[in-house]
Structure 1
Amino acid sequence: MFVNRRDVQIQWGDCDPANIVYYPRYFAMFDDSTSTLFEVAGFSKQDLVRKYGLVGIPMVDTRSKFYIPSTYGDWITIETKIESIKRSSFEVKHNVYKGDALAIEGFETRVLVGRDPVNPDKLKSAPFPAEMVAKFTGS
């Protein structure tokens, strides 16, 4: 399974008045982490568009479990991997660590989408390219 880890320092603007990270900020971090996962795996946004004819990888479902809060100046590590791949949808898991402790579990369901060949003004799900499946699953 292909995994990417990135360190993030919590910024002043990430926090609410109680100096705790305002939870939607984590979802923005997860979105960046998913994009980074694709980039590090060798599938840049430009590749998705030019090589595979995709428009993007929109999120269709998300949720998180919060265990340990973070505050301004803290460093966290976000570990991101694709847990499963179906025809066009896939499940992403983000584990956030504060030191060695699991602070957050984040979950996303995303879909590969391209232009609908019948109506280019609309989007349509697109099948996962075999080389992407192989890279992310290790098979």
Structure 2
Amino acid sequence: MQKWPDDDVILFDGVCIFCSRWVRFVAQRDTTKRFRFTPIQSDYGAKLARTFGIDADDPDTNAVVHGGEVFMKSDAALTVLSHLPGWSWTHALFAVPKPLRNAMYGLIAHNRYRIFGKYDACFVPDADLRARVIE
């Protein structure tokens, strides 16, 4: 697996309402401010996406770099959740077979714009969250 120099970086689709809510969800619960965020539409996010084979024009996953490695789809979501204070119980969900987890993830990812909507431009976080965004 390819390494990435920055750690605990979440790559997300910045125009996806669901994805942006995910970022706010994580940021509110990440009391130690461990995770940082990068929209795939930013220069940094596009470079990260290209490095790991994610189509920046039609992303089908978010990703997280943790421990120098990239995790995608359900592995990304569970890796993030299991490192949030009070959410370590979600680590047990790794026991669910990965094909089943990724099938559920893919169903939501494929329909996210239709179900949740899409911003016209990348969402702009508040000042506190803005300090944790890498562009």
- For normalisation by structure 1, the TM-score amounts to 0.25
Q: Which structure ranks higher in relative contact order (CA pairs < 8 Å, sequence separation ≥ 6)?
A: 2
Q: Which has the larger radius of gyration?
A: 1
Higher helix proportion (structure 1 or 2): 2
Higher strand proportion (structure 1 or 2): 1
- For normalisation by structure 2, the TM-score amounts to 0.26
